[in-house]
Every structure is written in structure tokens, then in C-alpha cells.
Amino acid sequence: MNSSQKIRPKVSIGIPVFNGELFLKKRLDSICSQTFTDFEIIISDNASTDSTPTICQEYEKKDERTHYIKQKKNMGVWWNYKFVVEQAKGEYFVWAAADDWWKPDFLEKNVKELESNKNLIGSISEVRFLDLLNKEIPLQNNPEKFVKHQYSIPAYGSYEKRIATCLRHRHATSIYAVYRTKPVIQTMSNVSETEGDLAVILNLLKYGDFHVLDELLMYRHSKGMSTTKTHIEFMRKQNYNLFVITFPYVPFTKWCLKNLGFRIFTKNIGFFIKFNYRGQKRIFFEVMRKNSTLKKIIDKLIEFKSTRRNRKLEK
């Protein structure tokens, strides 16, 4: 066994981060305290302007498994996700968002699933969201059978069936599962920039089933790094052109038609119609809210709709 083989970790953990000081320490603590210890941490700092570099350098000094890389300029969110994958040496890979955290046995239990079932491409646990006070947000009433797995959906069966499951639920949290590294690297060059997380999941489902542990081991913040801006502001910051900002889900729809094939695409045409409709509605409301009078009207409508929904749930 040569020296490179000796130092090769079992798991590579990629943390793409920009201005993550609010959650980063808790995130790194949850990683360093894992019961499964054979891993490396790859932090790619997208030119942060807060105390993120100081925090990362501190952890790099006290834990030799941590590798910190600061980019000279902000290269964009999805570029940063790709970059950490390219640095991975482990047999398994997991993206770790700076505003999430794991219970101590998250890695151990998910790696165990992948080791024991070669048909799996990825594994994650149940996931819950937290508010800014770190209180767990209750699950929504869900008419579908996946009541517990609202944010991470298991996908089994044929490739076509796995794709249908992914599209129907459309929860991108599954991108934060533990995956086999080689397929992740192979699929990263073929993604839709505007919906990169869903494109990665769809690509990876070609390689096998997706498992969800029947156990809560992961938390996400509802007002974390990726939910602090409006959709339009986020798209502008990523330098998308006017067409993509105005019709945000059309590029992803075209990507699916090309990469999933005509037959699978048409079988799921209902999803793409609803998906694009919701995207246009979201853009419309964001534009209208810039007008103060219209904003008040829209807020009242949303409040009225929410009140009606709560009354129905009470009944």
C-alpha cells in the first residue's frame, strides 16, 4: 500500500460557503463530532467578506482532516458546488451546506447503508427544518403516502419510476445525501445551471436507488444561506440573463426533455406544466411586491388564503 492509498479517506465532505459566519461553527462542530471519523472536509470559500475565513482557518488548524481553500473572487454558487467535488478523494461524497447540521451518527448510519446495499446510489436520513430560534418547524399535512419523509424522498424501482418520484415531490434536499463519489463526478458536467440540485439528483438516479433512513439525523435552517433573498435578486447576482430571470424554469424543462428522453418527459408533462406555472407566479408576485400598494393587497390575499387553509385543517 503506497502513501496516497493510506491517506485516502472513506468519505469526502464538501462545504461550499459564502458569508456563512452565522451557522458555520455549529456546522463544523457537528461534522467533527461524527462517530464515523474516516473523512476529509473540503471547504471552498467563495470570497466571503465576513468572518468565514477566520472560522475556517481556526478549524483547519485544530483538525488535520480539514482543508480550507479561499477563492479570489466569487465564482457563483453552482461553480463552488462543482469545485468541492473535484477535490474529493473519498469513496463516498456528501455536500454539507454551511447552514445545516447533523446528529453524531449521520455519517456512520448512511455509509453503513451504502456499504451493505450496492444497489443504492445515495442515502440520507429524515430531515427537519428549524426556524431562526432553532425550533423545529412542524411537518405540513401531506395527502401523499410519504408523510414522514417530506423533505427527503426515497426512490426505488425502475429508473423511470425513480425519476417520477423525484419530479413529483421536487425536494432538492436530497442533494445533501451521502453518495458514491465516482457517479457524482461523472454527472457534474451535465447539469442545468438554474436548477442544478434537481438535475444532479435526476442524473444520479440513473445509477441506482435512493434510500432514506427512518430516523431523524439532519436539520436545515428555513432562513439559511440560500433562502435570504428573493428569487430575482438571487438570479441577478448569479449573472443570469433577462430571459432566464423572467422564465426561470424553462432552461431546466429543456434540460429534462434532452436528458430524460421524450417518453419519460411526456409521462411527467403534468409536473413540468405546474413547475413552470409556479415559477411564473413566483416572479409575478415578486415584481408586484415592489409596488407598495400592490404589496399590501398581495399580503392580504396571502393572509386570507393562509387563514382559510388553517381553518380547514382545524376541522
Work out the number of other CB atoms within 10 angstroms of the CB of residue 126. 17
Residue 53 binned pLDDT confidence (cut-offs 50, 70, 90):
very high
pLDDT in the model for residue 299: 66
d(CA 297, CA 310): 20
d(CA 313, CA 315): 5
* More confident of the two residues 77 and 57: 57
Helix, strand and coil percent figures for the chain, each rounded to 5: 50, 15, 35
* Window from 29-43, 79-93, 208-222, 283-297 with minimum mean pLDDT: 283-297
pLDDT in the model for residue 192: 56
Residues listed for the chain: 315
Helix (H) or strand (E) holding 273: helix 269-288
Positive or negative, the CA dihedral 191, 129, 94, 50 is positive
pLDDT in the model for residue 55: 97
d(CA 276, CA 283): 11
pLDDT in the model for residue 78: 85
Q: Which three cell numbers stand for residue 186?
A: 461523472
Residue 226, SS3 per DSSP: coil
> How does DSSP classify residue 155?
B
Q: Which residues contact 236 (CB under 8 A, 6 or more apart)?
A: 245
Residue 11, SS3 per DSSP: strand
190-243: per-residue pLDDT in tens?
Answer: 665 666 788 899 999 999 999 999 999 999 987 654 444 566 566 666 566 666
Q: Which residues contact 251 (CB under 8 A, 6 or more apart)?
A: 192, 193, 194, 195, 244
* Window from 59-73, 242-256, 285-299 with minimum mean pLDDT: 285-299
Q: Which three cell numbers stand for residue 145?
A: 403516502
Q: Report all structural domains of the chain as residue ranges with CATH numbers, in order of start.
A: 8-221 (3.90.550.10), 231-314 (no CATH)
Burial class (CB in 10 A: 0-12, 13-18, 19+), 260: buried
Provide, rounded to the nearest whole percent, the portion of the chain with pLDDT above 90: 52
Mean pLDDT of the chain: 83
pLDDT in the model for residue 188: 83
pLDDT in the model for residue 69: 97
In 111-242, DSSP assigns E strands to 120-130, 178-180, 209-221
0.85 cut: is pTM over it? no
16-52: per-residue pLDDT in tens?
Answer: 999 999 999 999 999 999 999 999 999 999 999 999 9
In which residue are the cell numbers 393572509 written? 303
